[in-house]
Structure 1
Amino acid sequence: MMASLKPPPRRPVRGSTTGRPIMAILDLLGRRWSLRILWELRGEALTFRSLQGACDAVSPTVLQQRLKELRAARLVSHDAGQGYGLTATARRLLPTLLTLQDWAETWASEEEH
C-alpha cells in the first residue's frame, strides 16, 4: 500500500488512528529523507541536483517523491529560477527542529559520559 502524498490532519496515518495533527506531521517528517531535505533547505533554495548532493546522493526517485509530499504539505515550494526552498510554514517549524537538535546534542554528550 502506497502512502498518500500528504498525511492529512484529522485522518488516520501510519501508527495512529486518531487523526491528530501532531501524528500527521510526525508521519510526514518520519518518512525517509524528509527531515534531511528540510534541514538542507534551511539556508537557501537549492536546485534538484544540489539538493541531491547535499543529501548524500539520495536516489532521484526518492528525492522526487519526498519533494512531492513536502510540496503537497506546503512545506517546500519550487521556483524554476531558484530551485526548491522552504515555505513560510516550514520556516515556522525550523525553531522547533533547532531546539530538537540542541536537545539531541546534549543527550549525545550525556550518553558519552
Structure 2
Amino acid sequence: MAPRTNPSPAPGESEEDVCRQVLRILSLIGDKWSILVIGQLRDGTLRFGELHRAVTGISQRMLTLTLRQLERDGLLTRTVHAGVPPRVEYTLTELGTTLLDSAIALGEWATTHRHEINDNRRRYDAAHPS
C-alpha cells in the first residue's frame, strides 16, 4: 500500500480549509457521470454526440452540466469548430489524464466486486426490511 500523503496547508490556510476543499473536489469528480465521461475520453477527443451515445443513461442536460464542470475544474478542454452546425469536441487535459488511472482502477474494482456487493445488499435488505 502506498504511503498516505497529507500535504501541509498553504500559508493562511487551515487544515479544515484543506479538508473542505478536498471534499468539494471529490464530490464533483466522484459522481458517476464525471467518472464515466473521463473514462470515455481516455482514448482521445470525442464530440458531444459521441459522448452522449457512449455514456449510457445520461441526459443531454446532465452531460452538458458535467462537461461544463469538468472544463471549469481544468480536467477537459472544449473546442468549438466553426461550421453549420458548429462541431464541439472534448479532450482530457494533462490534469484530467492524471485522474485516468484512478478512475479506471475504481471502475475495475466495481466490476470485479459487483456480484459480491449485490449479494451483500440482498442479504442486508432481507435482514432489514423497510
Q: Would the TM-score normalized by the shorter structure come out above 0.5?
A: yes
Change in 2 beyond 3 A, CA 1:20/1:39: same
Is the CA contact 2:76–2:92 (under 8 Å) kept in the aligned structure 1? yes
Structure 2 counterpart of 1:60, one-letter code: Q
Identify the structure with the greater helix proportion.
2
Determine whether 1:87 maps to 2:93.
yes
CA apart distance, 1:80 = 2.5
CA apart distance, 1:63 = 1.0
Residue in structure 1 matched with residue 26 of structure 2 by the alignment: 26
Residue in structure 2 matched with residue 103 of structure 1 by the alignment: 109
**Alignment: residue pair count:** 96
- Contiguous gaps of at least 5 residues in structure 1: 1-9, 11-17
For residues 102 and 62 of structure 1, what CA distance do their matches in structure 2 show?
A: 24
- Partner secondary structure for residue 66 of structure 1: helix
TM-score by length of 1: 0.69
- Partner secondary structure for residue 71 of structure 2: helix
TM-score by length of 2: 0.61
Runs of 4+ in 1 over 3 A off after TM superposition: none
Identity %: 28
Residue in structure 1 matched with residue 50 of structure 2 by the alignment: 50
CA apart distance, 1:100 = 2.1
Cα deviation 1:14-39 (Å, max 9, x = unaligned): xxxx4142x12221023352111111
Change in 2 beyond 3 A, CA 1:93/1:50: same
For residues 98 and 32 of structure 2, what CA distance do their matches in structure 1 show?
A: 21
- Contiguous gaps of at least 5 residues in structure 2: 1-12, 14-18, 82-87, 120-130
Structure 2 counterpart of 1:87, one-letter code: T
* Pair member with larger Rg: 2
